[in-house]
């Protein structure tokens, strides 16, 4: 009786093994397939990731606001820490009133091309009897360049200009009538006038990126 029971239990174990082993193999295969599909899906998604442009600094050299080699400096920027003689030479007299020169005056016998010192956006175009025609350009580094005493303007407000692009021609004004044909040039940084000599022909860093 005991032997018969053992045979029956042995048969049941064998049958169970035949049934469970295929089920385990199927489950294992299904799990493996799910892992492979998950890996493939991750690879697919990673390929669609849009790369962002890294923030980077570019270096640019500021150029003079003219290209004609005959152009000369007639009046320099008034430097509060400069020599007394240079300060006197940098005084502008108009209608018996004395003004410190906020820029540099460039002169030449004949009208000359005036160019943008850097690429930027034209933010102001105006004409005044005292200072003449004026162009203001805001640049990528935040500085603003101003070109006064123009006889001709070749751009309009909102224009994006490139570095070295001709934006007008020199002319005359009433404020510095004694200079004749000239360009009055100024640079502003954070709302304050700066000595253009500290910027022209110097390299600056401009941050770009998202």
SS3 (DSSP) at 47: helix
Residues 18 and 68 in one domain: no
Residues 40 and 70 in one domain: no
Tell me what pLDDT residue 129 has: 84
Residues 4 and 62 in one domain: no
Dihedral sign for Cα atoms in the order 93, 195, 190, 56? positive
Residues 190 and 156 in one domain: yes
Q: What string of H, E and C letters represents the secondary structure of 81-148?
A: CCCHHHHHHCEEEECCEEEECCCEEEECCCCCEEECCCCEEEEEEEEECCCEEEEEEEECCCCEEEEE
Tokens of 95: 């209608």
Residues 69 and 151 in one domain: yes
Q: 16 lies in which domain range?
A: 1-49
CATH number of the domain encompassing residue 108: 2.70.70.10
Residues 188 and 139 in one domain: yes
Intervals of the chain under pLDDT 70 = 1-57, 206-210
Which residues have CB under 8 Å from 162's CB, separation 6+?
A: 116, 119
Residues 132 and 71 in one domain: yes
Pick from 49, 73, 89: which residue ends a domain? 49
Residues 39 and 121 in one domain: no
Residues 83 and 14 in one domain: no
Residues 137 and 117 in one domain: yes
Q: What is the DSSP string of 150-179?
A: EEEE---TT-EE-TT-EEEEEB--STTGGG
Tell me what pLDDT residue 80 has: 84
Task: Count structural domains, the chain.
Answer: 2
CA dist., res. 63 & res. 200, Å (int): 6
Residue-wise pLDDT tens digits, 8-56: 555 445 545 455 555 545 545 555 554 454 444 444 444 554 555 555 5
Pick from 24, 49, 74: which residue ends a domain? 49
Residues 114 and 25 in one domain: no
CA dist., res. 198 & res. 188, Å (int): 12
Residues 20 and 113 in one domain: no
CA dist., res. 15 & res. 9, Å (int): 10
- Tell me the pTM: 0.71
Instruction: Give the count of beta carbons closer than 10 Å to the beta carbon of residue 161.
Output: 20
Q: Which helix (H) or strand (E) holds 73?
A: strand 72-75
């Amino acid at each position: 009786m005991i032997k018969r029971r053992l045979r029956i239990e042995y048969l049941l174990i064998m049958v169970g093994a035949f049934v469970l082993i295929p089920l385990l193999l199927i489950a294992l295969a299904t799990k493996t397939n799910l892992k492979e599909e998950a890996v493939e899906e991750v690879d697919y998604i990673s390929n669609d990731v849009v790369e962002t442009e890294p923030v980077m600094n570019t270096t640019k050299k500021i150029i003079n606001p003219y290209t004609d080699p005959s152009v000369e400096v007639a009046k320099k920027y008034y430097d509060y820490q400069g020599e007394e003689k240079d300060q006197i030479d940098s005084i502008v007299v108009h209608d018996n009133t004395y003004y410190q020169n906020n820029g540099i005056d460039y002169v030449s016998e004949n009208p000359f091309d005036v160019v943008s010192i850097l690429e930027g956006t034209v933010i102001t175009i105006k004409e005044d009897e005292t200072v003449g025609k004026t162009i203001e350009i805001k640049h990528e580094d935040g500085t603003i360049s101003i070109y006064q005493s123009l006889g001709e303007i070749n751009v309009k407000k909102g224009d994006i200009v490139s570095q070295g692009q001709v934006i007008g021609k020199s002319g005359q004004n009433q404020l510095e009538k004694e200079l004749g044909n000239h360009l009055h040039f100024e640079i502003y940084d954070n709302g304050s006038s700066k000595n253009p000599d500290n910027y022209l022909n110097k390299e600056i860093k401009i941050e770009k990126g998202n």
